[in-house]
Amino acid sequence: MTLASQRLTLPSRLALFGAGILLALPGIADAATQDNLSIVSGGEIVGSLDAVTEGNHVSVDYRVDNNGRGPKHHEDIDLDASGVPLSYRVTGTSLMGGKVEEQYLWKSGLATWHSQADAGSVKATKPPLYVLNDDSPFAMAIYARASIAARGEEVPVLPGGKLMVSKVRDVGIGDKTAGLAPVSAAVYRVTGLQLAPTYVLFDDKGGLFAVFDADAGGGDMTIRKGYEKAVPTLAKLAGDLDLERVKALQGKLAHRFSGPIRIENVHVFDPASGQRSALSTVVVMRDRIVRVEPQGAPFAQTSETVIDGAGGTLYPGLHDMHSHSTLDMGLFYLASGITATRDMGNDNRFLQELLDRIDAGEIAWPRIVPSGFLEGRSAFSARNGFIPDTLKDALADVNWYADHGYAEIKIYNSFTPEWVRPVAAEAHRLGMRVSGHVPAFDTPDRVITDGYDAIAHLNQLMLGWILKPGEDTRTPLRLTAMSRAGALDLASAPVRKTIALMKSHGTSLDTTAVILEMLLRSNAGERPSFAENFFTHMPIGWQRFRKRSYVDKSDPALRLAYEQGADKTLEVIKLAHDEGIRMLPGTDDGTGLTLLREIELYVKAGLSPAEALRTATLGAEEYFANTADVGTIARGKLADLVLVAGDPTKDIRAIYTPQMVMRGGIVYYPSEIHSALGIAPFASPPKIRPAISANPQTAANVQVRK
């Protein structure tokens, strides 16, 4: 199909939107038209989106199969003349196979809807803009088209919240020498639905050209079929747009103070002892702690900025031990008190550029400890890092990661089991650790003896006690098989053998219990348990998407089995802790808030609040042998600090309400960050007394806020 024939329009039916772009609304063409797009991830096509428009009706088929997962929807849409849906029906399955059957209808002044998340009705004299619970990239195009006429104003949407669409630039795509006909496109930013923006590109005839999220710098996007070679160009565009946004946020939200910063009237939490101090003072100069002493000690300087802790608790910055970094996740992490992360697999070029930007102070981000991703080649391959074809290639890749400063190698599902031992040996020779999934058809016991320093994900450990020989963990079975976990006997010989091996080899466990809770305890229409302490603070689109069953729970017995599997994960955490196995709290998620839930889950499993908080502070840094710089609050250490009003050693939920976070001496106020990111704040900033200079002529310049 030629470019011109992909979107047929009538000049008399065109609608004028935005800054001079003529957009052809779906449903105004006299003949059937088509939008055919590819879903691209890691440089490979992993799905498709095909939309056929006839009159005012649009039929969409959307299918993704990436790493064994992906939504598979059919959508039927009826639009009015302005492009607003009058009816919408979505049927199929969601990311992990959960059933999707969503319906929306506006008729005779009444809008009604039913989805996994909710159901309701609202009187409306004209069709409102309904936002789907289970949508597709084509739905984002509908939202954009229906909202562009607002010219930058927020548009109310059903079932709640507001959407804003703004044009950010015009771009030219394609090159005849590369076999791609040139396309002129307008780029629109859609905000208000999720935590990060989505970008929608329309060509100069109004046809949908591409859709991608703010983190598409790695190349994950939906793009017009035949233009897949243009993905790197658009990935760079995505990176540029997101970088502009996060740089601006860094300039607004990062506060730097000249001279010492004195944090007074705080109880300092010591992860080593599990105790809080009497009221104390902590002084920071530049990026280091220079003094920790009892409250009221003499010699406070007028040149110091004073932060009043008001009797709250100051504890070391948290470490998310299972992250996949994107450009805009840094502020979300910092707002939750997370000052360090372990990146567990990424696009290598992107991560190197991100590390450079963080080091240069361009963007707000925790410290990152990078892990080098190694995967095997199969129909289920994940598309991060390297996919070596031979053992020699794998060993060369290990050396590349060592030369680029990676602390660890992460092995994934399709990796050849026989290569684990030599790869681990080479990594250890180079001073690197090894962790990851248990490769398909391998076992936890074998990877432990082959050299794993940590197993990634609690389910990857438990599958060794659950799966039958020959079952394939490259598929969603690695998650859905957790429905069998409730029947596990933790005193059984296989369980005791694996635990003994972990103890004798010093193997740690990267739990990501929160992501398992998200899956196993998710139920359509119910507020998810993993977000019980922050759900109402989140944007409406985020809330609705998570009121769902991620897996098929139509059978009550299966729902019960998943609940029992979730219960068993907490029992395994307590068993491993009691046996002295190091627990590494991680999330596999980028909101920051989920690490706080991960720590809370440790408490629900039976750890004391102090023990749970230790795992995410000192314990994480002990794993990296990095305690000389971070992990506790002491003179000479990096000033990575979190201030909360309560006492997390008594009630772990206090960690959800940080008032101030310091990352290397730079101060952030979570309330400011959350407000800027569309999240309702949790706590107010502490009171601050600016520094006073002895020289009146320079007094105004002592405190510098950026």
Distance CA 386, CA 680 (A): 39
pLDDT digits (tens, 9 = 90+) for 347-388: 999 999 999 999 999 999 999 999 999 999 998 998 889 999
Q: Is 146 helix (H, G, I), strand (E, B) or coil?
A: helix
pLDDT digits (tens, 9 = 90+) for 544-598: 889 988 888 889 999 999 999 999 999 999 999 999 999 999 999 999 999 999 9
For position 68, what pLDDT does the model report?
A: 75
As its CATH architecture, domain 255-317+631-706 has: Roll (2.30)
What percentage of residues in the chain have a pLDDT greater than 90?
77
Predicted confidence (pLDDT) at residue 27 exceeds the cutoff of 50: no
Report DSSP letters for 559-596, one per residue.
HHHHHHHHHHHHHHHHHHHHTTPPEE---S-SSSHHHH
How would residue 146 be classed by pLDDT, with cut points 50, 70 and 90?
confident
For position 551, what pLDDT does the model report?
A: 85
Distance CA 313, CA 278 (A): 10
What percentage of residues in the chain have a pLDDT greater than 70?
92
The topology (CATH level 3) of 318-626 is TIM Barrel (3.20.20)
Predicted confidence (pLDDT) at residue 16 exceeds the cutoff of 60: no
Residue 303 burial by Cβ neighbours in a 10 Å radius (0-12, 13-18, 19+)? middle
For position 522, what pLDDT does the model report?
A: 92
pLDDT digits (tens, 9 = 90+) for 523-546: 988 999 999 999 999 988 899 889
| Per-domain boundaries in the chain | 20-252, 255-317+631-706, 318-626
Predicted confidence (pLDDT) at residue 695 exceeds the cutoff of 50: no
* Cβ-contact 590, 323 below 8 angstroms: yes
Predicted confidence (pLDDT) at residue 701 exceeds the cutoff of 70: no
For position 180, what pLDDT does the model report?
A: 85
pLDDT digits (tens, 9 = 90+) for 39-88: 999 788 999 999 999 999 999 999 999 877 899 999 999 999 888 999 99
Instruction: Quote the Cα angle for 376-380-384, to 5°.
Output: 60
How would residue 308 be classed by pLDDT, with cut points 50, 70 and 90?
very high
Helix axes 493-505, 458-466, angle to 10 degrees: 140
Give mean pLDDT, residues 632-645: 98
Predicted confidence (pLDDT) at residue 147 exceeds the cutoff of 60: yes
How would residue 177 be classed by pLDDT, with cut points 50, 70 and 90?
low
Predicted confidence (pLDDT) at residue 285 exceeds the cutoff of 50: yes
Predicted confidence (pLDDT) at residue 425 exceeds the cutoff of 50: yes
Q: Is 613 helix (H, G, I), strand (E, B) or coil?
A: helix
Distance CA 483, CA 490 (A): 16
Residue spans of beta strands (DSSP E) within 357-479: 367-374, 408-411, 433-436, 454-456
For position 153, what pLDDT does the model report?
A: 75
Least confident span in 58-72, 344-358, 655-669, 683-697: 683-697
For position 150, what pLDDT does the model report?
A: 67
How would residue 693 be classed by pLDDT, with cut points 50, 70 and 90?
low
For position 365, what pLDDT does the model report?
A: 97
Q: Is 288 helix (H, G, I), strand (E, B) or coil?
A: strand
Predicted confidence (pLDDT) at residue 15 exceeds the cutoff of 70: no
